[in-house]
Amino acid sequence: MYPSHRPRRLRRNASLRRLVSETSVEPRHLVLPMFVREGASEPVPIATMPGVVQHTRDSLRKAAVEAVEAGVGGLMLFGVPEQHDAMGSGAVDPDGILNVALRDLSAEVGDSTVLMADLCLDEFTDHGHCGVLDEDGVVDNDRTLQIYGEMAVVQAQSGAHVVAPSGMMDGQVGVIRESLDATGFTDTSIMAYSAKYASALYGPFREAVNSQLQGDRKTYQQDPGNGREALRELELDLAEGADMVMVKPAMSYLDVLRDVASVADVPVAAYQISGEYSMIEAAVANGWLDRQRTVLETLTSIRRAGADIVLTYWAVQAAKWLRDERGGRV
């Protein structure tokens, strides 16, 4: 009888589908990006990212505990300072908001989750670029590296398990590794933003960190049309000592993620960024998409493309959905 091959046999019920599923998403795969705002007396909603806030120090600690209880794999922290300057000096100040908040979370959750820190100057500079500028207004790669090295040490001192350089400066991983090792932080890991594209989808994030950006970042972030270039960046970061690597954005660059994952010999992360989040939330608000099904499908697609780790603003909610689906087993 035709057809003799019936793949639908393995889809007949939920138990069979679960048994033969090739890709899983578990809470431990998820990292929650979090924003903490200096001087805030209550959480500040981010209009372009419904459901996401700039935390106070107190609400940050509470949200971190909730995330740990949900089983998420890690937290990625971004600071939102009150003051900005040309050098982004708040980034290296031990009493700057990012470093103070790292100490808060280290004291609150300890080693119960992985505490990660964004290592970049864009939140701290008055021009919004990821490095310091030269006399022509161009980001000075090598002067910026010196500051990145200082940032890494302060973040490690403040309790970060992982520092995550996101500025796409040439040589950033090597300088950071050297700085960490020279100051005794040989166990602090580096998650390199190896393939970070100059995407239009970062718009909501700029509100989230109160970005002062003037111009664009096309001279240091990758061109969206380039795929092979990502593999060159990957190779350089691995040679310089990256412990983990990242592709950003995630959903628009699944092909790049697949290529990176196929050759990387370290864990691979992907960042489901603000614009990807906001597009789905807007469609959900209009009744066009179901939030849970859509979120879990997108996370599955990112995992299927090769990500071991997914940074997503839905990390806690997704972890709870996954836990409920599995009868409370995380």
Active site residues: 196, 248
User: Residue 309 is encoded by which pair of tokens?
Assistant: 């780790």
Element holding 177 (H helix, E strand): helix 172-182
Dihedral sign, Cα of residue 144, residue 271, residue 82, residue 221: positive
Q: State the SS3 of 221-246.
A: CECCCCCHHHHHHHHHHHHHCCCEEE
| CA pair distance 173, 326, nearest whole angstrom | 39
| CA pair distance 106, 50, nearest whole angstrom | 27
Question: What is the CA 85 to chain-centroid distance, rounded?
Answer: 24
3-state helix, strand, coil in the chain (%, to 5): 45, 15, 40
Tokens 């960042």 found at:
271
Dihedral sign, Cα of residue 17, residue 22, residue 28, residue 31: negative
User: Residue 192 is encoded by which pair of tokens?
Assistant: 């390199």
Question: What is the CA 280 to chain-centroid distance, rounded?
Answer: 18
Strands 53-55 and 44-45: antiparallel
| CA pair distance 127, 195, nearest whole angstrom | 23
User: Residue 174 is encoded by which pair of tokens?
Assistant: 């090597």
